[in-house]
């Protein structure tokens, strides 16, 4: 057999092996429809990330796996959604990572007030050993972490008065997410903190059941809160990483090829979603001003007053996390600041 023929057969053989490998991987991907529920409306960066994830899953699975999106809290609030994932009646969600404190107490770390100065610091923590360690703790709770998305810095709105000083918050009835640290945080500021599922919030603001709420600018805009809130203050009191999670019942039932599809799609969608979210934050603020909201910026001195008022809350939850974990968190942030 001459050398040319041998080379031809060798190349043909390699091609056949490659084709068989592709076929084998494809054969391990079943026809599935996955249900992905989340709180924000279509068009919000959260929803855009979910849409990108769905497109990537379809592409990488050869259109065998379809991700059906349920935006706007249409399947219930975050706590209800997490419960559905654990029970296997829902497949995916993305939510404020701090809400997972109800499952794993250490997730409260992400909601410590004034923890991060910017998104770069948050990414370093969530993408590093700290973020992986917290996701690993979810496994025993029937959940599997896929990545951390961006929601941005939370700001305060209300219908009563402009907030230009830390003391102006006292006496307001403020809706907060269903997490103890938020209740304690606004209690420390003298507000009447009212936990409430997100899908109920617009009506509560419209009917004056609560005076205000706190969310990133993109959420305030997409949820049309400018229609029922006059005053917006850029408090930037908490930065929200969002946890993209999947039901462990589903995850354990998936083949290695299917898991690879989901992991790769999640990684690419995470990069996309963060870019979109951060790019739209300033645009959202301009749009809220154009919609008629009165926007206030706190002076450095008043921001320092806010930090002082909420320090007991930080100390309480830092102690609950455990000294070693809190040191690890601060060490990760310090690396970025250097």
Q: Collapse the DSSP code of 119 into the 3-class scheme (helix H, G, I; strand E, B; otherwise coil) and give the result.
A: helix
User: What pLDDT does residue 7 have?
Assistant: 55
Q: Collapse the DSSP code of 117 into the 3-class scheme (helix H, G, I; strand E, B; otherwise coil) and give the result.
A: coil
221 contact partners, CB below 8 Å, separation of at least 6: 284, 287, 288, 291
User: What pLDDT does residue 19 have?
Assistant: 41
User: What pLDDT does residue 139 have?
Assistant: 98
Mean pLDDT of 270-284: 94
Mean pLDDT of 147-163: 97
DSSP string, 321-338: H-HHHHHHHHHHHHHHH-
Cα–Cα dist 201/304, whole Å:
29
Chain segment 118-142, per-residue pLDDT in tens: 999 999 999 999 999 999 999 999 9
C-beta neighbour count of 82 within 10 angstroms: 25
Burial class (CB in 10 A: 0-12, 13-18, 19+), 268: middle
- Residue 178 binned pLDDT confidence (cut-offs 50, 70, 90): confident
Residue 41 is given by DSSP the state P
* Closest C-alpha among 87, 109, 84 to residue 96: 109
Contact status, residue 214 vs residue 239, Cβ threshold 8 Å: no
Chain segment 193-245, per-residue pLDDT in tens: 999 999 999 999 999 999 999 999 999 999 999 999 999 999 999 998 999 99
Strand order in the sheet with 32-37: 65-70, 32-37, 92-96, 239-247, 143-153
Rounded to two decimals, the pTM is 0.84
User: What pLDDT does residue 282 have?
Assistant: 83
Portion of the chain with pLDDT greater than 70, in percent: 92
User: What pLDDT does residue 197 have?
Assistant: 92
Chain segment 43-72, per-residue pLDDT in tens: 999 999 999 999 999 999 999 999 999 999
pLDDT(1) > 80:
no
User: What pLDDT does residue 26 have?
Assistant: 54
Mean pLDDT of 251-278: 97
Burial string for 13-23 (b: 16+ CB within 10 Å, else e) reads eeeeeeeeeee
User: What pLDDT does residue 301 have?
Assistant: 96
In Å, the largest CA–CA distance within the chain is: 91
- Residue 18 binned pLDDT confidence (cut-offs 50, 70, 90): very low
Portion of the chain with pLDDT greater than 90, in percent: 84
Chain segment 67-112, per-residue pLDDT in tens: 999 999 999 999 999 999 999 999 999 999 999 999 999 999 999 9
99 contact partners, CB below 8 Å, separation of at least 6: 78, 79, 82, 107, 177, 178, 179
| 178 vs 286: which has the higher pLDDT | 286
Structural domains of the chain, with CATH:
30-337 (3.40.190.170)
| 22 vs 32: which has the higher pLDDT | 32
Mean pLDDT of 275-288: 93
CA separation, residue 111 to residues 33, 99, 272 (Å): 33, 9, 23
19 contact partners, CB below 8 Å, separation of at least 6: none
Cα–Cα dist 35/58, whole Å:
13
- Residue 21 binned pLDDT confidence (cut-offs 50, 70, 90): very low
* Closest C-alpha among 189, 107, 120, 200 to residue 153: 120
User: What pLDDT does residue 338 have?
Assistant: 83
Cα–Cα dist 66/54, whole Å:
7
User: What pLDDT does residue 14 have?
Assistant: 53
- Residue 6 binned pLDDT confidence (cut-offs 50, 70, 90): low
């Amino acid at each position: 057999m001459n050398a040319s023929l041998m080379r031809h057969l060798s190349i043909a053989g390699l091609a056949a092996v490659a084709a068989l490998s592709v076929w084998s991987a494809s054969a391990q991907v079943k026809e599935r429809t996955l249900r992905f529920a989340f709180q924000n409306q279509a068009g919000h960066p959260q929803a855009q990330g979910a849409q990108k994830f769905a497109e990537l899953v379809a592409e990488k699975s050869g259109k065998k796996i379809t991700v059906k999106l349920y935006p706007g809290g249409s399947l219930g609030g975050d706590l209800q959604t997490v419960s559905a994932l654990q029970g296997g009646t829902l497949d995916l969600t993305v939510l404020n990572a701090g809400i997972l404190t109800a499952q794993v107490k250490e997730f409260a770390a992400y909601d410590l007030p004034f923890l991060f100065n910017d998104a770069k610091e948050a990414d370093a923590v969530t993408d590093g050993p700290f973020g992986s360690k917290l996701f690993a703790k979810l496994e025993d709770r029937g959940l599997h972490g896929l990545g951390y998305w961006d929601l941005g810095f939370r700001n305060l709105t209300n219908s009563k008065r402009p907030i230009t000083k830390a003391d102006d918050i006292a006496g307001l009835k403020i809706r907060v997410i269903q997490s103890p640290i938020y209740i304690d945080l606004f209690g420390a500021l003298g507000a009447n903190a009212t936990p409430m599922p997100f899908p109920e919030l617009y009506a509560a603001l419209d009917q004056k059941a609560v005076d205000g709420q706190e969310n990133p600018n993109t959420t305030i805009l997409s949820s049309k809160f400018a229609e029922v809130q006059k005053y917006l203050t850029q408090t930037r009191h908490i930065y929200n990483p969002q946890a993209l999670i999947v039901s462990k019942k589903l995850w354990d039932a998936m083949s290695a090829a299917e898991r690879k599809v989901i992991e790769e799609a999640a990684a690419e969608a995470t990069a996309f979603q963060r870019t979109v979210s951060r790019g739209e934050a300033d645009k959202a603020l301009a749009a809220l001003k154009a919609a008629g909201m009165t926007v206030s910026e706190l002076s450095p001195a008043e921001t320092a007053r806010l930090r002082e008022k909420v320090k007991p809350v930080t100390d309480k939850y830092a102690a609950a996390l455990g000294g070693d974990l809190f040191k690890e968190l601060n060490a990760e942030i310090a690396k970025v600041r250097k």
